[in-house]
Structure 1
Amino acid sequence: GTLIGGAVITEAVFAWPGLGTELIRAINLRDWPLIQGSLIVIGAGFVIVNTLVDALQAYLDPRVVAD
């Protein structure tokens, strides 16, 4: 919830069109396929970024053991 809320606030402050604003519009219009697709894209992006950060941390800090 925080990830999407932060995206909506950032898009509103800087007047950027983005996925957060589009997701809120889809929720208001009850556009279920767009809601599902948006949440899958956001979730996949979150998982990919966290995996890359964990791998980078294990590479940069030899005290961290990659499992």
Structure 2
Amino acid sequence: LQLGAIIAFAIITETVFQWPGVGLLFINAIQFVDIPVMAAYLMLISVMFVGINLIVDLLYFWVDPRLRVDRAGGH
């Protein structure tokens, strides 16, 4: 699953179908060169991306027992 592509296409979908949302806010920020809004949007997307990747990695560690380290000192 490519979350970055989904987020990018959400902006396109909002623009094409005229659904107001965060993507439209970002497009307007680009048009009016609103740097704080662009920075906040990119920070939000970055935090979401890192958070989702962290959750997936933790779930992967929880599901796959081969990734766990034996704490008793054995191999």
After superposing on structure 2, the runs of 4+ consecutive aligned residues of structure 1 that deviate more than 2 Å are 1-5, 9-18, 63-66
Residues 7-16 or 44-53, more deviating: 7-16
**Deviation (angstroms), 1:29:** 0.8
C-alpha deviation, 1:61, in angstroms: 1.6
TM-score of the pair, normalised by structure 1 = 0.74
Are 2:21 and 1:18 aligned? yes
Q: Of the candidates 50, 60, 63, which is equivalent to residue 60 of structure 1?
A: 63
Which has the larger Rg? 2
1:51 equivalenced with 2:54 (yes/no): yes
SS of the residue aligned with 1:63?
helix
| Whole-angstrom distance in 2 between the partners of 1:61 and 1:14 | 42
Distance of aligned partners of 1:30 and 1:58 in 2 relative to their CA distance in 1, 3 Å threshold: same
Secondary structure at the aligned position of 2:67 is classed as: coil
Question: How many equivalent residue pairs?
Answer: 66
Structure 2, unmatched stretches of 5+, are 70-75
